[in-house]
C-alpha cells in the first residue's frame, strides 16, 4: 500500500472518528435506546465515492474498531460491525447496480444498518421481543439515512467544485 493511499484512508478514518465522538455530545431525544444519527456515515458515503471499494471498507472497519476501543466495548462493536457490514454491502451494490442517488443509497444503508443491529441484539439477548422496535428503527434509519445522504452529497459537490473541477 503506497503512502498516498494510506494517508487518504487515515484522514477519512480520523474524520469519521471525530464525527462519531462529536455525536456523543449531542442530546438526541430519539424514542429507541441507543439510536443515533450516524454522522460518521457521512464519511463512509464520501469514501465510497472517492476511494476504491476495498479502501472505503477498510476505513469503515478501522473506524468501528477504533470507536469501540475509545468508548464502546465488545457488544457495541458487534452491533456496529453487523450494521456497518450490512449497510456498506448494500450501498456498494446499489451504487454499482442501480440508478439511485447518494441520498437513496444512504437511506437504504441507514435502514439496513438498524435492521442488522436489531438482529444481532435479538440474537445476543436471545429474545424476539426486540423486534417490536423494528418499525421505529426502520423509520429512523431511513430518515437519518436521508439526512446523512444530503450532507454527503453537499460535501461531495463542494469537494468536486473546489478541488477536482
Mean pLDDT, each 10-residue run in order, the chain (165 residues): 92 96 82 78 96 97 92 84 97 97 98 95 92 93 96 94 67
Look at residue 165 in the predicted model and tell me its pLDDT.
56
Look at residue 84 in the predicted model and tell me its pLDDT.
96
Q: Which CATH number fits domain 3-163: 3.40.30.10, 3.10.20.30, 3.20.20.300, 1.10.1760.20?
A: 1.10.1760.20
SS (H, E, C) the chain: CCHHHHHHHHHHHHHHHHHHHHHCCCCCCCCCCCCCCCCHHHHHHHHHHHCCHHHHHHHHHHHHHHHHHHHCCHHHHHHHHHHHHHHHHHHHHHHHHCCCCHHHHHHHHHHHHHHHHHHHHHHHHCCCHHHHHHHHHHHHHHHHHHHHHHHHHHHHHHHHHHHHC
Look at residue 160 in the predicted model and tell me its pLDDT.
82
Amino acid at each position: 500500500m503506497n503512502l498516498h493511499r494510506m494517508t487518504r484512508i487515515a484522514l477519512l478514518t480520523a474524520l469519521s472518528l471525530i464525527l462519531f465522538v462529536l455525536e456523543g455530545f449531542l442530546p438526541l431525544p430519539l424514542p429507541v435506546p441507543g439510536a443515533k444519527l450516524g454522522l460518521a456515515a457521512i464519511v463512509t458515503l464520501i469514501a465510497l465515492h472517492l476511494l476504491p471499494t476495498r479502501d472505503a471498507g477498510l476505513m469503515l472497519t478501522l473506524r468501528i474498531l477504533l470507536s469501540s476501543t475509545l468508548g464502546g466495548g465488545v457488544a457495541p462493536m458487534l452491533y456496529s460491525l453487523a450494521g456497518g457490514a450490512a449497510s456498506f454491502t448494500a450501498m456498494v451494490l446499489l451504487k454499482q447496480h442501480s440508478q439511485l442517488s447518494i441520498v437513496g443509497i444512504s437511506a437504504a444503508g441507514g435502514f439496513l444498518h438498524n435492521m442488522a443491529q436489531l438482529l444481532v441484539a435479538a440474537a445476543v439477548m436471545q429474545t424476539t421481543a426486540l423486534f417490536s422496535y423494528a418499525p421505529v428503527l426502520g423509520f429512523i434509519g431511513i430518515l437519518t439515512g436521508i439526512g446523512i445522504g444530503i450532507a454527503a452529497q453537499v460535501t461531495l459537490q463542494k469537494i468536486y467544485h473546489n478541488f477536482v473541477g
